[in-house]
Amino acid sequence: MYKKNNILFLYSILYFAFLYIPVMLLPVFSFNDAIHMVFPLKGFTLKWYDQMIHASRLHQALFNSIKVGVIASIFSTLIALLAAKAFTKYKLRLRQLSYGAILLPFVIPEIIIAVSLIVLWTGMGLQLGLIPVTLSHILFCTPFCMLVLISRMEGFDKNLEEAAMDLGENAWGTFWRVTFPLVLPAIVASLLLSFVISFDEFILAFFLTSNDQTLPLYMWGQLRFPKKLPHVLALGAVIIVATSIIVMLSYWLRNLGNPSGKKNNIGGI
């Protein structure tokens, strides 16, 4: 609505640099031919990437992270899909309360959720490990998925569903032939984003696992050893590029054929 503001523009560019420089630093040093992260740069090398590819404990951790991430994203997206349907289709009693309760795990400090699950798990005499980690990730991702799905479901025309009903489809047919295709991009986005959240998550995994490491835990363990650091940087660079692509893809999906015609569909991040 306003025309120009050079000061604000300059500020935005500076803030942009503040946001990105720390993130870009790791990839830069991952190609640097030196163990310590110090300027000036020494020379270009790919040996840290070679070391990364041959680190066997890293492979195990990567596999664990993918396993936890896939299960967590599928379950949280399913649970969130049902909940999003309830909130967008029905006027229900105690709506605010239920809505708040489901969003709560997103706001409560993760460490509180982590220690509570330790108390529950050990109290039941169960072994800590990837199972409680996955459970905590489902809990943590569900609010997120729900926000992503609701913002899409609110956007589309309810008449489409009613029209399908009038044309003789039952509830299941309506869902399968009308609702699902319309919501599909958001479902995929929700799967991708919750996978990224779970893949990156540190605190819950740190508290709730015993011997099985996830990728962030592996990196945490390596940060203490200066000699191991460069290959963590190489790993970090790969993670940064991969997550950026996944996130970009999911943003694109969320706006794909958005029936509401709103371009800025960012509800709930």
Q: Closest approach of Cβ 161 to other proteins, in Å? A: 14
> Of the two residues 173 and 226, which places its CB atom closer to other proteins in the complex?
226
- For other proteins, the closer of residues 100 and 181 by Cβ is 100
Q: Tell the smallest beta-carbon distance from residue 163 to other proteins (Å).
A: 20
Q: Which is nearer to other proteins, 182 or 215 (CB)?
A: 215
Minimum gap (Å) between residue 127 Cβ and other proteins = 15
Question: Distance from CA of residue 128 to its chain's centroid?
Answer: 23
CB of 30 to other proteins, least distance (A): 11
If you search the block for the tokens 């040996």, which residue do you land on?
47
Cα 103–107–111 angle (5° rounding)? 125
Nearer to other proteins, 83 or 164 (CB): 83
Q: How far apart (Å, rounded) are the C-alpha atoms in residues 51 and 47?
A: 6
Residue 48 dihedral angles phi and psi, to the nearest 5°: -70, -35
Question: Which of 117, 178 has the CB closer to other proteins?
Answer: 117
Task: State in angstroms the smallest separation of the CB of 135 from other proteins.
Answer: 6
Identify the CA nearest to 52 among candidates 222, 240, 242.
222
Please give the structure tokens belonging to residue 154.
């609110």
CA–CA gap between residue 197 and residue 85 (Å, rounded): 23
Return d(Cα 130, Cα 141) in angstroms, integer: 16
Rounded-to-integer distance, Cα 70 and Cα 198, Å? 9
